[in-house]
Structure 1
Amino acid sequence: MDINAYIESGILELYVAGALSEKENKDVHALMQQHPEILQEVLNIEAAIVKLTASASPSDTKHILDRIKQTLGFGGKNDSKIISIAKPKYNWLTYTGWAASIILAAGLFWAMNQNKQLKYEVQTAKTQQSILEMQIADARNNLEEAHTLISVLRDENITEVPLAGQGDFANTYAKVYWDKNTQRIFLDAQGLPDPPEGKVYQVWSLKLSPLTPTSLGTIDSFTTDENKIFEIENLNESEAFGITLEPAGGSETPTMEQLYTLGVVG
């Protein structure tokens, strides 16, 4: 093995910088134990890095200047001496390459962080755009619903049916707007409290003689609907409307003990 060629290859600088793979680190460590020259070179590199680091920090330079003067023979006397300048042992070109590799790695790390930050900002912008689009769509739907409700309330052919509170729920109320032409009702349930967990309100169309209830469905979105106005299909010849509190999923027949509101078609 050519020790000098190995030392000049630059791999020892990468070893000191921690830029080698785990296998390469093991190989260098093994050669350091076998060849004192390689071990000494590693020590020299580490010492050089320490010197470079120290020189990059601000400090009192007076003692450095005094040392330079003493080395050059300017110790305050007029005598002169011939200075012998020896060729430096360290391969500074290799150190420069090592430093460049560190700078390149730092640059790549910065670029990766910038790219990650850009992706995050793009994703955040997309999310905000999606939320805005949903808000616009909801606003349009609410506006259409408002226009529909206004047209219903102004229609002379609409039948209004007040639903009064019953029994223990006398303080509750609701109102049905029945559009017989389109076979639908608009239920204003603002006078009902939020149902307990596991319970839902169920709307009933009633025939009075004999008493025959027909379910118009459950109001599953009661707690999340701010306006508490619900459009419900009604294909029946209703004589009254009622609202009961039922288990989630609804019931086949109304639970009369939980009859909240009831109103007869006038």
Structure 2
Amino acid sequence: MNIQAYIESGILEEYVLGTVSPQEKQEVECMSHIYPEIKEELLRTEKALEEYALKHQTPPPASLKESLFAQMNFDAPREFKEEHIETPSVVPAETEEKTVVPAQTDNDGRRAVVNDAFERVETREVVPFWSKLAVAAAILFAIFAGWSAVQMTEYKGSNEQLAAELGSVKGEMEGIKTNLAYNEALAAMYRNPDYKVVKMAGLPKSPESAVAALWNQKTNEVMLDVQKLPSAPAGKQYQLWTIVGGQPVDMGMLDNQFSGKVLKMKDSQPGAVAFAITLEKEGGVPSPTMEEMVVMGKVS
């Protein structure tokens, strides 16, 4: 298995962000147990996500608690009174005894007024403190839950941003690897004594252009290092030529995406004395258009 290709596929980042399918999740966990390199990369990715989340987290406002309790009213409830009238029991006429109770009189012989004939009862509604505290806690919990939901939304957005940044970093790393491979390939050919380097300088058509042909004189293989060349216009394409026996020989068309690449051209014929590039119609022509020649170099 190509472990590096699996790591670079992006599935580890998706696993950490929780966007993989159950089958992919099981696959990643299985692979991380089998290959230490995958497990190490997975741990490194998780650590990077955790550090990013901690770096960008938003703590609750310091004034949240004070603002909440300032809006609460813990005053005692308004007291009120209820009057209850005790009604004397009524004895049915049939069962009422014929007992005569002497009336109470005062010193002057007048009938005395019975005090507390009607008893006034005062009641008060008491709300326990724990009930107030429970209401306050419920309100605080609701506010905190709302705040947490907002934070989770922001955190999800941060995860998506992190995924995009990881993708961007991954693209940059791939670009660096490509450039490194390009430079290593060029360096190897420039150091190889079997290759003759033919430098093609810019002509009046394109004076700032510069291209190098690396010609292996043992195998006649020709590689092209495009150092500086304008992009071909629409419908046009660059074509490489060698001069053998005074006649131009087609060496193939340059890939329009030639920047940062070592282009392999057709094999050269022995006895080539010069290399040149012209700008032709797309697909090439059997003989070069001399007015469209952009670079040329002699074989020394």
Question: What TM-score does the superposition give when structure 1 sets the normalisation length?
Answer: 0.50
Instruction: Give the helix-richer structure, 1 or 2.
Output: 1
Structure number, greater radius of gyration: 2
Question: What TM-score does the superposition give when structure 2 sets the normalisation length?
Answer: 0.45
